[in-house]
Amino acid sequence: MHRALIESVLFASLLVGPLGPSTAPFPGRLDTCGRALCAPDGSRFSWRGVTAFGLVDLIADDREADAQAFMTWAARTGFTVIRVLAMNRGWMDLSPADGRRALPRALSLAREHGLYVQVVALAGTGTPALSSDAFLHEQVRAIAQLCAAADNCVLELANEPYHSSQAALNDPVRMRRLQRDVPSGLPVAWGAARDHRSDDMAGGTYAVAHVARRGTRWDRVSRVRELGELSRRTRKFVVDSEPIGAAETPHPSRRDSEPGAFFAQGLLARMFDVGTTFHCDDCLVANVPGPVQQRCAEAFVAGATLPSPATALTPVAVGAPSAPVARLGPLSTQARTFAAVGPSEGIVLVLGTSQPPHPSWQHGWEPTDHVSQWPEVHAWRVVKAR
């Protein structure tokens, strides 16, 4: 276990305590601040999300102890946001009425654990009873008001508006009308576009994307770079909300079980200044994950917390005058290299090489941490000598 992972686990243990809720002061309501979300004191919020689709359903079904167990796990692992559904009449039987009834309790419990909640108002709306304009506006208005009444909530109007399980929501005009039902000051995203590179659904105050899961592991993980480009183009905070998930056994283009992939996901999100969410099989129903998923979750948090929390990073090309490293020695053509810098701290990451890279540091940069515990993953945290 490398030093950043140890520190993140220790920090989470101190924050949550051995038995449950946090005793630390809660930072307060988030608001958009350029390409980030910020707390009331102006500090940038570190979005380390985790899927918890079934959490509100657990509370609606009087299984609060199970919901508490998941939130305790999430906070202790080092996550800062849980993503929940406020309704879903598909694979999960959560009616809109039950979702509205249980959501305030879910928000309150999450706050006790020091967690923010990303609430998805619309899911499984592709039936006649749930697809009318009247219902859609009523649901968004009700969930938005509950969300705005809490200081640990941000809103997402719809999960995958383009999906066949949804009403015809993949329409910027319709989503803009729904957004009018959201109180001002509440961060709101419309939902993911069909293509994670598209800004068609980026009309909210922040944006979400679902990165394509196809292709090789490192091709897939490297697509976080495209979310950084989306953020710069829209000038909004962007969250990678539903990337490939972790599972006890892998499934091509759907689930992975290699912790190094999730370490890279968390770290690349920091390097490209976007938010990211850990997705996993057990997380779908808000169950405490199995051992492989747990290792993947810990690796994700370790990557996301390798840079100092207050450091905003800017991507630079390896070998550029502003980069910490001039070259990385002989690498295979399959290797992918990344670098990002702040005023006095930077990150260098190499993926897809079994041979140890040999960095040539430049302009006073020097490494303080080298993470190489997973196959084909090498990361350095570097600082600039004064």
Q: What is the pLDDT of residues 176-187, one digit of tens each?
A: 999 999 999 999
CA distance 240 to 49: 9
Residue 19 has pLDDT above 90, yes or no: no
Instruction: Look up residue 54 and give its two tokens.
Output: 């079934």
pLDDT value of residue 354: 85
Mean residue pLDDT across the chain: 92
pLDDT value of residue 3: 41
Q: For the residues 210-221, what does the mean pLDDT come to?
A: 95
pLDDT value of residue 195: 95
Rounded percentage of the chain residues whose pLDDT exceeds 90:
88
pLDDT value of residue 91: 79
The radius of gyration computed from the CA coordinates of the chain, to the nearest angstrom, equals 20
3-304: which CATH number, 3.20.20.80, 1.10.150.20, 3.40.50.410, 3.50.50.60?
Answer: 3.20.20.80
In sequence order, the 6+-apart residues with CB closer than 8 A to the CB of 145 are: 183
SS3 367: strand
CA distance 103 to 88: 13
CA distance 327 to 362: 9
SS3 171: coil
Q: For the residues 309-325, what does the mean pLDDT come to?
A: 92
312 vs 202: which has the higher pLDDT: 202
Residue 10 has pLDDT above 50, yes or no: no
308 vs 181: which has the higher pLDDT: 181
pLDDT value of residue 237: 98
Q: Sorting pLDDT into bands at 50, 70 and 90, what band is 20?
A: low
Q: For the residues 239-258, what does the mean pLDDT come to?
A: 96
**pTM, whole model, 2 decimals?**
0.93
Residue 15 has pLDDT above 90, yes or no: no
Among candidate residues 1, 34, 46, 36, the one with its CA nearest the CA of residue 308: 46
Domain positions in the chain are 3-304, 314-384
245 vs 14: which has the higher pLDDT: 245
Residue type (1 letter), 108? S
CA distance 38 to 186: 12
Give the pLDDT confidence of 331-373 residue by residue, as tens digits. Answer: 888 899 999 999 999 999 999 998 889 999 999 999 999 999 9
CA distance 17 to 177: 44
In sequence order, the 6+-apart residues with CB closer than 8 A to the CB of 246 are: 255, 256, 257, 262, 278, 279, 280, 281, 289, 292, 293, 296, 297
End-to-end distance of the chain based on CA atoms, in angstroms? Answer: 29
Instruction: Look up residue 111 and give its two tokens.
Output: 């706050």
Residues forming a β-bridge with 376:
none
Give the pLDDT confidence of 136-172 residue by residue, as tens digits. Answer: 999 999 999 999 999 999 999 999 999 999 999 999 9
Give the pLDDT confidence of 84-137 residue by residue, as tens digits. Answer: 999 998 778 999 999 999 999 999 999 999 999 999 999 999 999 999 999 999
CA distance 301 to 284: 18
pLDDT value of residue 386: 67
